[in-house]
Amino acid sequence: MAWTVRRVGASEWRLIRALRLEALADSPRAFGSTFGREEAFSDAEWIAFCAPFSWFAAEEDGRAVGLVAGCMGGRAAPGACEVISMWVEAAARGGGAAVGLIRAVRTWAEAQGASMMLLWVSDGNERARHFYERLGFGPTGLREPLHSYPSISTNEYCLVL
């Protein structure tokens, strides 16, 4: 697959919305929100949702096939970049787009002075867990319920930069 990763500005909130909704529909138990909740967002709510994050899209032949965002601070530890909203459409999985997305966030995070990257993986999402472990992420031991499905636990993973 011939794919590229590019930074997506908050002004491209419509693209972020489309990918995020596709991700929530495709993998509802992998995210802390639901399709129904975010589908109901107004345009102003989408703009506000996108603004605090640094977004990246994986594109194949000019068509977006994946999304990820990084955020410094927030609920993450000081000096940490939290990785959120990581998703690649099923047809593009295994082709390197996910690695490209994480590398883009890592490059951005290092430029921000981050000392680590943190993310959460839902119980039962073995493909994601194995993927992150191959990239050097390891479990921190912190667990919490998934906000959108509290019966599912999530595990925090860390990559020291």
- Stronger pLDDT, 73 or 15, i.e. the higher one: 15
- Stronger pLDDT, 135 or 2, i.e. the higher one: 135
Residue percentage of the chain with pLDDT more than 90: 92
Q: What is the pTM of this model?
A: 0.94
User: Which tens digit of pLDDT belongs to each residue from 121-147?
Assistant: 999 999 999 999 999 999 999 999 999
pLDDT recorded at residue 35: 97
Asked whether 66 and 20 are in contact (CB, 8 A), the reply is no
pLDDT recorded at residue 73: 78
Give the residue among 158, 156, 152, 155 at the shortest CA–CA distance from 27.
152
Average pLDDT over residues 12-26: 97
Domain assignment of residue 61, given as a range? 3-160
Residue percentage of the chain with pLDDT more than 70: 98
pLDDT recorded at residue 1: 54
CATH assignment of the domain containing 114: 3.40.630.30
Average pLDDT over residues 11-31: 96
Does the pLDDT value for residue 32 go beyond 80? yes
Q: How many domains does the chain have?
A: 1
User: Which tens digit of pLDDT belongs to each residue from 53-110?
Assistant: 999 999 998 899 999 999 997 666 789 999 999 999 999 999 999 999 999 999 999 9
